[in-house]
Chain A
């Protein structure tokens, strides 16, 4: 049999930009944007679903607030004040719950992105395009972030109208910076989840499982101090922990002040760690499913 190196290989030009070039980067960013647009078009084809998804954050928050208010007999908790120097239940729970939807961005929107394309039947068609697979995942994330922002804004309006609460206006910008850092790390986590959901047949269990674990370990509805020691240590691995602590530090009037630099450094470290870990697992999984031939299977 003729050997490959005996023959003349003539490199051919391809129409699409590839490799580490500015043109290619622009093309990848555009693919992310178009994926986001595509998801919006599909979502808006189900208007009832869209409305429900916007209302959902409010629905899931209400029991936490009502439960807390009945338990304490009012909006002020001295036990909470002793733990974190803020006594207003509504402000504390809402400031934590605001990011709940964005945890969903990581575990559901990103985590289930590849699976969703499998369900549509379009995954193989997308995989043969020269666009990086991660662009698909980030495109879904972008759609979800915009979506969750709408839900959070609605949530803000409803809770403010019913209960009222006070946030520090001057703290909004640094809180947004912390939010951005947290979302970057959560994106890395989301990439990791998207890889896992591909390997396991019942991928939704992975997303739901991680969502529940993050919900328990993160100081969403309660301060970190009520968790057992080992759970507190584990929670430091999650970007939501420094994210929530940092955002509350800047937004709540009388929250126990944390050293902001610690929070920023913690988040930066988690950003690097989760993104590196997530992308590595993603590429390894991609190779594995292409080897095992389960790409098109749902």
Chain B
């Protein structure tokens, strides 16, 4: 644990954390034919071959805090989680987790954390839930006399006791994810790292898992890092939220303070069906004084309209003109919302990109 000069305890701290990946070329048997072309295309400093996943990230997470890391796919959330959990070695900088350096004291860091990654196969499908948890409990070096009791406790907590002796391959996605979260809690670690724990889950299971996460923080005082691209999840659950894009943390604060960065008059959201084919360019060319115009496509087949966000000083002023322009192009307007910013709006304002797309926007 790190104590700051004002005596705040931090469970996780990153210092200039940097991670760069080199893109690998797959040439195949006929790769020698491509070599000449590649020589001509290659830039002089070779930067095209590098992806900066984390760019000198400095971040502090207080003890007992539920800290959200919000960003789109490719922003660097998973890389951040993996560096902290010692799965990845950073190229520069370091992180301190529960007072232990991830570079030098890896075993102690691993003993201090529980990791749950959403949306992936990470259980033995041919084993039962009980067998999975028992095995991982032994990998967490839990005493034998405690394992059985602890596994029962967690299965009960996750409402899986009745099906504990069925194979994981017969479970639904939500049930499997519960086992993944239970696994992270086996050794009662002070720090939990959750990377998109509700990815791919239906609303019911998502709600259950979110309430369990909140309970772990409130009742058991655990420090939880929640990496997610679901804005609502970060908004509703987290004590503080860090917005990450292109490997950089662009803002850290409570959800309310972040939303206050977007003035009410600076935000208009128009929901519509059948938006024009090149909405952003169309509206920007008509009204260049609107700072940001972003289209978030919906799904008409599912009844979800597209949303057009207008942000900037002149957003409210131009609302009626924008509506006219859209109607001219046969868009069907369903709703107009002025001045209720969300974290997504904060993200768009700070980065110019959409939360639902890749970080490059």
Residue of A8, A14, A35, A46 most packed against chain B (CB within 10 A): A14
Q: How far is the CA of A30 from the CA of B21 in the complex (A)?
A: 37
Q: How far is the CA of A9 from the CA of B98 in the complex (A)?
A: 10
Min Cβ gap A191→B in Å is 18
Q: Which residues of B contact A18 (CB under 8 A)?
A: 107-108, 111
Asked if A17 is at the interface (CB within 8 A of a chain B CB), the reply is yes
Min Cβ gap A32→B in Å is 10
Asked if B237 is at the interface (CB within 8 A of a chain A CB), the reply is no
Is B98 touching A128 in the complex (CB atoms < 8 A)? no
Residue of B100, B108, B131, B144 most packed against chain A (CB within 10 A): B108
Q: How far is the CA of A10 from the CA of B8 in the complex (A)?
A: 12
Is A15 touching B122 in the complex (CB atoms < 8 A)? no
Is A131 touching B87 in the complex (CB atoms < 8 A)? no
**A290 contacts which of B58, B87, B139, B188 (Cβ < 8 Å)?**
B87
Q: How far is the CA of A293 from the CA of B5 in the complex (A)?
A: 35
Nearest residue, chain A, Cβ from B180: A125
B137-168 to A contact mask, C-beta < 8 Å, 1/0: 01111101000000000000000000000010
Asked if B226 is at the interface (CB within 8 A of a chain A CB), the reply is no
Q: Which residues of A contact B122 (CB under 8 A)?
A: 121-122, 124-125
Q: How far is the CA of A236 from the CA of B358 in the complex (A)?
A: 56
Asked if A120 is at the interface (CB within 8 A of a chain B CB), the reply is yes
Residue of B2, B15, B107, B144 most packed against chain A (CB within 10 A): B107
Q: Which residues of A contact B9 (CB under 8 A)?
A: 10
Is A9 touching B99 in the complex (CB atoms < 8 A)? yes
Nearest residue, chain B, Cβ from A124: B87
Is A10 touching B139 in the complex (CB atoms < 8 A)? no
Q: Which residues of B contact A37 (CB under 8 A)?
A: 135
B86-129 to A contact mask, C-beta < 8 Å, 1/0: 11110100001011100000011011110101001111111100
Q: How far is the CA of A249 from the CA of B2 in the complex (A)?
A: 64
- Tell whether A120 pairs with B3 under 8 Å between CB atoms, given A34-B138, A130-B140, A293-B21: no
Q: How far is the CA of A158 from the CA of B126 in the complex (A)?
A: 32
Is A14 touching B111 in the complex (CB atoms < 8 A)? yes
**B89 contacts which of A1, A9, A131, A291 (Cβ < 8 Å)?**
A291
Residues of A1-44 whose CB lies within 8 A of B? 1-2, 4, 6-12, 14-19, 24, 27-28, 30-31, 34-35, 37-38, 41-42
Asked if A295 is at the interface (CB within 8 A of a chain B CB), the reply is yes
Min Cβ gap B150→A in Å is 11
Interface size class of B (residues with CB under 8 A): 35 or more
B299-338 to A contact mask, C-beta < 8 Å, 1/0: 0000000000000000000000000000000000000000
Q: How far is the CA of A258 from the CA of B183 in the complex (A)?
A: 54
Q: How far is the CA of A294 from the CA of B99 in the complex (A)?
A: 27
Nearest residue, chain A, Cβ from B99: A12
Q: How far is the CA of A24 from the CA of B110 in the complex (A)?
A: 14
Asked if B187 is at the interface (CB within 8 A of a chain A CB), the reply is yes
Is B183 touching A125 in the complex (CB atoms < 8 A)? yes
Asked if B4 is at the interface (CB within 8 A of a chain A CB), the reply is yes
- Tell whether A38 pairs with B117 under 8 Å between CB atoms, given A12-B1, A12-B190, A16-B140: no
Q: How far is the CA of A47 from the CA of B108 in the complex (A)?
A: 40
- Tell whether A130 pairs with B121 under 8 Å between CB atoms, given A31-B141, A41-B127: no
Min Cβ gap B39→A in Å is 24
Interface size class of A (residues with CB under 8 A): 35 or more
Q: How far is the CA of A295 from the CA of B135 in the complex (A)?
A: 21
Asked if A169 is at the interface (CB within 8 A of a chain B CB), the reply is no
Q: Which residues of B contact A45 (CB under 8 A)?
A: 126-127, 167
- Tell whether A287 pairs with B141 under 8 Å between CB atoms, given A4-B96, A38-B135, A121-B122: no
Asked if A60 is at the interface (CB within 8 A of a chain B CB), the reply is no
B57-95 to A contact mask, C-beta < 8 Å, 1/0: 010000000000000000000010010011111010000
Q: Which residues of A contact B221 (CB under 8 A)?
A: none
Nearest residue, chain A, Cβ from B94: A4
Is A120 touching B124 in the complex (CB atoms < 8 A)? yes
Asked if B298 is at the interface (CB within 8 A of a chain A CB), the reply is no
Is A130 touching B111 in the complex (CB atoms < 8 A)? yes
Asked if B136 is at the interface (CB within 8 A of a chain A CB), the reply is yes
Min Cβ gap A7→B in Å is 5
- Tell whether A15 pairs with B187 under 8 Å between CB atoms, given A34-B135, A42-B126: yes
Q: How far is the CA of A35 from the CA of B142 in the complex (A)?
A: 15
Q: Which residues of B contact A19 (CB under 8 A)?
A: 107
**B3 contacts which of A8, A15, A28 (Cβ < 8 Å)?**
A8
Residues of A118-149 whose CB lies within 8 A of B? 120-122, 124-131
Min Cβ gap A30→B in Å is 6
Residue of A46, A129, A295 most packed against chain B (CB within 10 A): A129
Min Cβ gap A127→B in Å is 6
A–B complex contacts, Cβ < 8 Å, 25 sampled: A8-B3, A9-B1, A12-B98, A12-B100, A16-B142, A17-B141, A18-B111, A28-B141, A30-B141, A31-B139, A34-B134, A34-B135, A41-B127, A121-B123, A124-B117, A124-B122, A125-B117, A127-B86, A128-B85, A130-B110, A291-B91, A292-B21, A293-B79, A295-B87, A295-B88
Instruction: Given contact pairs A42-B127, A122-B122, A130-B141, enumerate 14 new A-B contacts (beta carbons under 8 Å).
Output: A10-B1, A12-B1, A16-B140, A16-B142, A18-B108, A38-B127, A41-B126, A125-B122, A130-B110, A130-B139, A290-B87, A291-B91, A292-B21, A295-B87
Residues in B lying within 8 Å of A, measured CB to CB: 1-5, 9, 15, 19, 21-22, 58, 79, 82, 85-89, 91, 96, 98-100, 107-108, 110-113, 115, 117, 120-127, 131, 134-136, 138-142, 144, 167, 183, 187-190
Residues in A lying within 8 Å of B, measured CB to CB: 1-2, 4, 6-12, 14-19, 24, 27-28, 30-31, 34-35, 37-38, 41-42, 45-46, 120-122, 124-131, 287, 290-293, 295-296
